[in-house]
Structure 1
Amino acid sequence: MTDAIYQQIAREIRARIESGELRPGDRVPSTREITVTWDVAMATATKALATLRTEGFVRPVAGVGTVVSAEGGAAARPRAQETDLTGERLVMTAVRLADREGLDAVSMRRVASQLGVATMSLYRHVENKDELVLRMIDHVLREEELPDPAPGTWRERLEVCARLQWGLFQEHAWLAPAMSMTRPQLLPSAVAHTEWILQALDGKGLDLEEMMHAAVTVFGFVRGVAVNIEQEAEQRRDTGMTGDEWMTQQAPALLDIVATGRFPMFSRVVRSELDMELDTLFEFGLARMLDGIGEWISGRSTLTEGRTGM
């Protein structure tokens, strides 16, 4: 629990530094100020400032206190040769940072700090954070390629594609929220997944719009479940509790709700040991979705055969 709190405090102070609210030379909250503001023990405050010192964001100054370092994170790191910086290294560093702390932690300044280079040197490789995020998405989607040759049936192909996406979303919790259904990122690595599903459904009696709707619906389902992965990771970092521990804490409130007698079915749920993990929800939803698409294709085939017979 304490670890999660000190990390949260460090993130909040770091964000103030990266936003420019706290500039090089400015004092950051002292351990005593942290104990009052965040209502934590002195040991927790000390660990928060120690984390920021390790990262190079702050440094102690005799007679003054702890202040923002000269370059807000990069100062404590050996300066790398900026000629050694490549676009691939930049993207991989940003991906690792997002995997560790979430996409909100990725800023040009923070990535430069991780690389030990000046922030401005990053702009030789990407125009801004939006472009960096696009390249991060493209990078992780290329980590796992769809198999060649492809499985024989349409259902196997859709299942393979969905499971591959689910695996990537689990490995990179920030990826699902970063991808859009309404304004999709036009990356070859992303289009490859759509092409895979379209080819799987081609020749099954569906028109192009129906096939495209199916492709987007499958992706939307996988992404819709996966966006909860990042939220759960954030909750664990912030509270120090697992999902099971949180549910145990909520048990009295749940029992109060079912004690009213208004919800007999939900009362049975509360008193049962049900597996509601995200993996289980994904497996159930994927199977039912593919069942539905199968019925849809079978109905379309029957209708086509009937017309042919006429």
Structure 2
Amino acid sequence: MAPIDRTPPYMQVVKALRQQILDGDLKDGDKIPSVRKLAEEWSISQATAMKALATLRADGLVESVVGSGTIVRTKSNIHRSARDRFTRMLSTGRIYAPGEYAVITAAELAPAPAHIADALGIEEGEQAIRRHRVTNNEEGPVSASTSWFHASLADSVPALLETERIPGGTPSAIKEATGREAYSAEDRMTVGSADATQAAELGVELDSPVLIGRNVLRDADGEVIEAGEYVSGAGRWTLYEYELGQRD
């Protein structure tokens, strides 16, 4: 017997709309359905619908505009994490949300720094594939990120060494060429100060606060397929939702 979903009705609405916003199905400037429309679509009271919209406003995902209703606002305040992009890739086959695009500035063999070498299971300074990109939206740079792969993939996935976007993303290309499929992932984040390169790429002042992240994708055997690094400017929110405990 399937477990009963005891998520409060307003949170069911919040989760659905939040995911549409993070996936880019609801874009910056799009109008959220009205309180009355939400109440009708979800079979909830208008008070419950109002509570759902208030929660999205508290998340910083929408704002109320007099005469226009509730509008999505994400260009300058949302950082889509590695998790967001990978889940979007799995569900839609596309990594970037509408209005976003990546410029790949490097695709090369390069010496792996210590933390990347540890993740890939190679020696520090050993050659690894390095793909660096800057992700932008209509307002400018959103984040800069680097993906690292074992050098042996250069033969089976030569596109990793080309500064062209890979349709469906690098995990899909690796799966197609080698059969290795991403099974689990891990993200770690901290706060730092922008160095000269990061400041130039993000369009911020030197030593400005930035969000710094590292992520890995592992296959079913626990071996790392990809090790990544990313940085984003201050003022952008990364959203995670998780459950605590079991519901009866």
TM-score normalised per structure 2: 0.37
More helix, by proportion: 1
More strand, by proportion: 2
Q: Larger radius of gyration, structure 1 or 2?
A: 1
